[in-house]
Amino acid sequence: MTKKIIILLLPCILLLFITGCWNRRELNDLAISLGEGIDLEGDSYRISTQIVIPGEIASKSTGSSSNIPVRLFTTKEDTVFEAMREMTTVSPRIIYHSHLRVLVIGEELARKGIDEVLDYFSRDHELRTDFYIVIAKDTSAENVLSILTAIEKIPANSIVSSLETSEKTWAPTTAVKLDELIQDLVTEGKNPVLPGIEIIGDPSNGKSKQNIESITPSSYLKYSSIAVFKKGKMLGWLDREQSKGYNLIMNNVESTIADVRCPDKKKFNFEIKKSQAEVTANVRNNTPKINVSIKAEGNIGEMNCELDLTKQTTIEKLQKLIESDLKHVVQDAIKSVQDEYSVDIFGFGDTIHRSDKNSWKSLKKEWNEKHFSELEVDVKVDVKIRRLGKISNSFLTEIKE
């Protein structure tokens, strides 16, 4: 009996020593990559990885960060995976991808097609699917990743934070994560969009420390608009109002501003606090029709017009004005996408597929080219003004000369 126990126990104890701590990595053996960029260079990919230098971030002497908190390593190879592995020749530590926050894709590569590079990012076990993907507008991803930022010390974090905050309070941007992008790519009757980021100023100025030592940085990053894709290939950009229209239809708006003109040509702002869009489809005689109904609620944000806000009729009048403004924004967005790109980024095809799958079978063949660009879209907007802010009538009306 005791012999048996010893025979059983001995290998167990010895096993502990021969494991050699398989897969064990100490924290200071990792190069934590927070941002990655892919550009096209000739026929091969140029991969840039933004590595955090932890000591510079969490240094105890706050304020006097003497050095740059990140480094950018780049390699060039035919495939993404190869390039990633080659990175070890320039990086002293293993690149650790699990904490990737953002993937930047150069516009050139985007126009040629992003689907191939995405395979690695969805396949590798280390990568999560919850990082954001942005397009570097008019520049390379490498340049975007090499701009130093001030408030968020890590540029990749800065890119993500401003994307997340602007998506919450400013409708023209939209944040897309890898799983959402892949979902859009594989769904019939839906095409993806990605947010575009651009560099304001000279990209080469942003690389050095001087950039963040100045109160007005000479070069900085800015989200500008939304890139329209036809499946994996980028076609072009939407402008600000079109992007807002897109997000209103896609139900992406958490809060935004509507900029409306009064009858007296002055302007007022309506702060949308809640917007609910519903897209329905019906097919009659093989001609599809889409109904978009948007219900928005919110407050008066700024009022420069001379109106008596204490009256119910004025509020109703203002609501009508906002409704027609939003309707115009939405219709304009649909119209311009139909005319310019004729690619269904709104997922109208998917809506038809869901509601009437038999007619979709005949429609789907020439959906983007023929049916979508001729699609009739009926837009209904219903606006409710809930609050006027701290004051009702503006003090501007009381200023007498």
Per CB under 8 A, the list member of 115, 116, 119, 126 interacting with another protein is 126
Phi, psi torsion values for 44, nearest 5 degrees: -115, 170
- Binding test (CB under 8 A) with another protein, winner from 7, 8, 14, 26: 26
Member of 30, 72, 185, 235 binding another protein (CB under 8 A): 30
Q: Contact region for another protein (CB under 8 A) — 18-26, 43-51, 245-253, 274-282? A: 18-26
User: CA–CA distance from 25 to each of 20, 21, 246 (Å)?
Assistant: 12, 9, 45
- How far is Cα 240 from Cα 219, in angstroms, rounded to an integer? 21
**Smallest separation, CB 195 to another protein (Å):** 20
Q: Which of 167, 362, 325, 316 is closest to 250 using CA atoms?
A: 167
Determine the Cα–Cα distance for residues 166 and 174; give it in Å rounded to an integer. 8
| Alpha carbons 375 and 368: distance in angstroms, whole number | 10
- What span, in angstroms and rounded, lies between the C-alpha atoms of 140 and 41? 10
Q: Is 54 in the site for another protein (CB under 8 A)?
A: yes
Task: By CB under 8 A, name the one of 38, 47, 52, 300 that touches another protein.
Answer: 52
Residue 21 interacts with another protein (CB under 8 A): yes or no? yes
Binding residue for another protein, selected from 24, 265, 284, 400, defined by CB under 8 A? 24
Rounded to an integer, what distance in angstroms lies between the CA atom of residue 262 and that of residue 268?
Answer: 7
7 is a site residue for another protein (CB under 8 A): no
Residue nearer to another protein on the CB measure, 34 or 281: 34
Query: Rounded to 5 degrees, what are φ and ψ at 180?
Result: -65, -40
Q: Which of 7, 8, 14, 19 binds another protein (CB under 8 A)?
A: 19
End-to-end C-alpha distance for the chain, whole angstroms? 107
The full DSSP string for 79-141 is SHHHHHHHGGGT-SSEEE-TT--EEEEEHHHHHH-SHHHHHHHHH-TT--S--EEEEETTS-H
> 41, 44, 57, 235: which one contacts another protein (CB under 8 A)?
57
Whether 155 contacts 148, CB under 8 Å = yes
Q: Does 64 bind another protein (CB under 8 A)?
A: no
Nearest one of 239, 274, 240, 271 to 256, comparing CA atoms: 271
Question: Which residue of 96, 120, 268, 346 would you call a contact of another protein, by CB under 8 A?
Answer: 96
Q: Which of residues 246-265 bind another protein (CB under 8 A)?
A: none
Q: Is 179 in the site for another protein (CB under 8 A)?
A: no
* SS3 at position 222: strand
Tell me: does residue 65 bind another protein (CB under 8 A): no
CB of 271 to another protein, least distance (A): 31
Q: Closest Cα partner for 176 from 268, 245, 104? A: 104
Stretch that binds another protein, among 53-61, 72-80, 135-143, 390-398 (CB under 8 A): 53-61
Q: For another protein, which is the closer residue by CB, 99 or 328? A: 99
In the set 5, 14, 215, 399, which binds another protein (CB under 8 A)? 5
One residue of 7, 8, 14, 23 binding another protein per CB under 8 A: 23
Task: Using CB under 8 A, pick the residue from 10, 11, 58, 179 that binds another protein.
Answer: 58
Give the footprint of another protein on this chain (CB under 8 A).
2, 5-6, 16, 19, 21, 23-28, 30, 32, 34, 52, 54-55, 57-59, 96, 98-99, 101, 126, 128, 154, 157
